Amino acid sequence: MATTKKPFLTKPTQSDSATRAAARNTDSGPSKVVPADDPATTKAVQAGQLAEGMPFNPNKAGEHGFDNGLAVAAGATVEPASRLPTGSTLSEENHSEKTGSVAAEGINWAIEPLDRVRVDSSGQVLTTNQGVPIADNQNSLKYGVRGPALLEDFILREKITHFDHERIPERIVHARGSGAHGYFECYDALTDITKAAPFQEAGKVTPVFVRFSTVQGERGSKDTARDVRGFAVKFYTDEGNWDLVGNNMPVFFIQDAMKFPDLVHAVKPEPHHQMPQAASAHDTFWDFVSLMPESTHMLMWAMSDRGIPRSYATMQGFGVHTFRMVNAEGDSVFVKFHWNPVYGTHSLVWDEAVKISGADPDYHRRDLWERIEAGAFPEWELGLQIFTEEQAEGFSFDVLDPTKIVPEELVPVRPVGRMVLNRNPDNFFAETEQVAFCAAHIVPGLDFSNDPLLAGRIHSYVDTQISRLGGPNFHEIPINSPLAPVHNNQRDGMHRQAIHRGRVSYEPNSLGGGCPFQAGAAQGFVSVPARIQAKEEQGKVRAKPEKFADHYTQATLFFESQSPIEQAHIAAAFRFELSKVTVPAIRERMVSSLRNASEALAAQVAEGLGMSPLPPPMPRALDNPAQPEVSHSPALSLLARPGDGSIKGRKVAMLVADGVNGQSAVDVHAMLFAQGAVPRFVAPRIGPVKTADGVAIDADASLENEPGFLFDALVLPDGDEGVRTLSLDGHTMEFIKDQYRHCKAILVLPASATLLEAAGASATLPSGEADPGVVQGGDVETFIAAVARHRHPERETDPPRV
């Protein structure tokens, strides 16, 4: 189909073409980007504007000191001129039914409501996982009706393979569970004690998913075993997910997470015969707890009727640990969570529980499902015990001890809201089995105490889910994804669902306009600056000591302690690396930072990048750093450790070809080898070399399989005919140039002076003095001394002469 070209508004000039071409490169760029009527160039210009808008990190100074740690500022951002510079690709404008359109601004569709993943197959044909309609779901593909099944039957293989992998590892504890959806409704605003989202106004409703479980039994065990019951609530708040992961008893068996593996190993079926299932009435459990007197309180609860509840709807729930609530001013109080069932607390008697387990092992699961289906929705009232750190210090027990309760007579339970479960899951596996709770999932307005058992739980749950659910992206499984927007720089990993737009996956940045940026203390989660003891001046905080703000003093020390050639290499390295940067503003920002370390270095780098004038020095995070004790340290230079002066292990290339003088080559080889070097005969081809004097030489390397830059030194041969042969091979010139340019020692036997000259190398330095690394005339001892120096940097020029 013919198309009509749109004429240029103006005829492009040579500079226009150069500008447009430069914008299409991804590994280098000009010193300045010239605007042009072209998407790639416009993107480059606007990326530069984003970078220019952040000449330094204005938050850096605020990262130091305790007070700053309590008042963290929001991250710096720059508004882009358009969406071009923050995108991954210019081709995002090309749409299809699969790719859809450009990513919606500021939206992460991967965490939208579960409607996006619900499936209803009513009226639909059967397909493969790739959407291919299946004609026959009754028979495998065979060669003839009585022939063998064929490997090419991708429909059979897909179906069987998926079936083979339909199970995932069960939870180590709490494997037997049941769940339901519902909501939490706040009675009154609790803004005086917390800024946590569910408690900000009377009548506020927060969606929840709740999972009840036994602890000991495997996934197929009975519901009515005597056991602790898990009571885990996932709040889908508008500031992220909060998991209140508790039990139906307010205390626990142990005081420190270090003992949790021991407890679970003791209560689980005994490893030699895997009995008893879902029961604690056996030797190993009682052996353990009888040696752990701190378990006594929990044993009272577990052996009471609470260990065999009538139903999930008629048991209490507790957060177990002491948590903190934090208000907008940063003031915190201690809190303990209580779920009190509206239908009362009721239990089974032991004989009843035993008989029910035989007739209906799914008794509790069935009860929860049927109540919700019938509209008799389970309901609990959330109550809080609220007390101060000063109050806690006056108690006869320690509130950080998870084997202790705070009696309601000391601190009454304050009702703050109600939770109703009103929807059964659509799919048990996708929701109840895949839901992942974690004690570390809290939102602004909540925080932890120093309970040592809680500290272990904060780590353990996430670690477990990574194994169970196939990798670090279990939070993207629909039942686990929050309602609150998710924007961070986490990428990749197994089963990643989100497709992130743009080139930026780090913070701070300027190429994404600073986004996503840290929320700051006003909006983001801030840990309470809890102290170990109330009398201490400082406590837990996200901040750095003030001296950490001195970012340049030791950088200056390092640079000033280098030899001139090492300093030149540092400048060249910065020049090369920054020349690969396509956004000039980033180069300028880096040079402005280097000015605080060394004006000389910054000037060299700027000159090498065509940058004039120098950008102003970057503002320092610490205006007046302490006077350093040391301003020059020779030990920081590589030259401070020249070694023992030997050439042991050095690889020396000895070029040979038919017609060389064999005896001189063999003699040099022997002398080098005697000093511990590794000399190698390198010829145009490996194998025997026909020397002019008949001395046997067998080349074990060739000019093409062992290039010159692999060697520490070079020996050029004697013998006119051999030298002439080498001069006709382009590899020889490259070999010599690399050795010379890299400042290696070169021994030039008499006939090879022409090779040195042909390669453009010189026996004299730019200063006119003799090059100590180019040894002429066959003085092997002088050459060995030259090799021992490793390199002869006085030969080096920038740019190189050869």
What single letter denotes the amino acid at residue 571?
A
Q: How many CB atoms lie within 10 A of CB 52?
A: 16
The β-bridge relationship of strands 745-748 and 774-776 is parallel
Q: How many CB atoms lie within 10 A of CB 58?
A: 15
The β-bridge relationship of strands 323-326 and 317-318 is unpaired
Q: Phi and psi of 64, rounded to 5°?
A: -120, 140
Taking the C-alpha atoms of residue 287 and residue 211, their distance in angstroms, rounded to an integer, is 31
Is the torsion defined by CA of 634, 636, 637, 639 positive or negative? Answer: positive
Is the torsion defined by CA of 91, 92, 93, 99 positive or negative? Answer: positive
Taking the C-alpha atoms of residue 419 and residue 207, their distance in angstroms, rounded to an integer, is 9
| Strand boundaries in 135-251, DSSP class E | 177-186, 205-214, 229-237, 240-247
Closest CA to 742 of 790, 690, 788, 699: 790
Closest CA to 499 of 78, 99, 8, 786: 99
Taking the C-alpha atoms of residue 589 and residue 598, their distance in angstroms, rounded to an integer, is 15
CA-angle at 566, arms to 601 and 790, nearest 5°: 165
Taking the C-alpha atoms of residue 677 and residue 405, their distance in angstroms, rounded to an integer, is 75
Owner of token pair 């939070």: 475
- N- to C-terminal Cα distance for the chain? 55
Taking the C-alpha atoms of residue 177 and residue 367, their distance in angstroms, rounded to an integer, is 13
Helix extents (H) in 304-432: 350-359, 363-374, 389-394
> Catalytic annotation on 247?
yes
Taking the C-alpha atoms of residue 33 and residue 21, their distance in angstroms, rounded to an integer, is 11
Q: Is the link from the previous residue into 793 a cis peptide, with omega within 30 of 0?
A: no
Taking the C-alpha atoms of residue 63 and residue 293, their distance in angstroms, rounded to an integer, is 46
The residues with which 678 forms a beta bridge, in sequence order, are: 651
What single letter denotes the amino acid at residue 62?
G
Helix extents (H) in 256-383: 260-267, 283-290, 296-303, 350-359, 363-374
Taking the C-alpha atoms of residue 405 and residue 395, their distance in angstroms, rounded to an integer, is 11
Catalytic residue among 57, 59, 68, 174: 174
Taking the C-alpha atoms of residue 367 and residue 421, their distance in angstroms, rounded to an integer, is 13
Taking the C-alpha atoms of residue 719 and residue 721, their distance in angstroms, rounded to an integer, is 6
Taking the C-alpha atoms of residue 37 and residue 44, their distance in angstroms, rounded to an integer, is 12
Q: Phi and psi of 422, rounded to 5°?
A: -130, 10
The β-bridge relationship of strands 774-776 and 323-326 is unpaired
Catalytic residue among 247, 248, 473, 480: 247
Catalytic residues: 174, 247
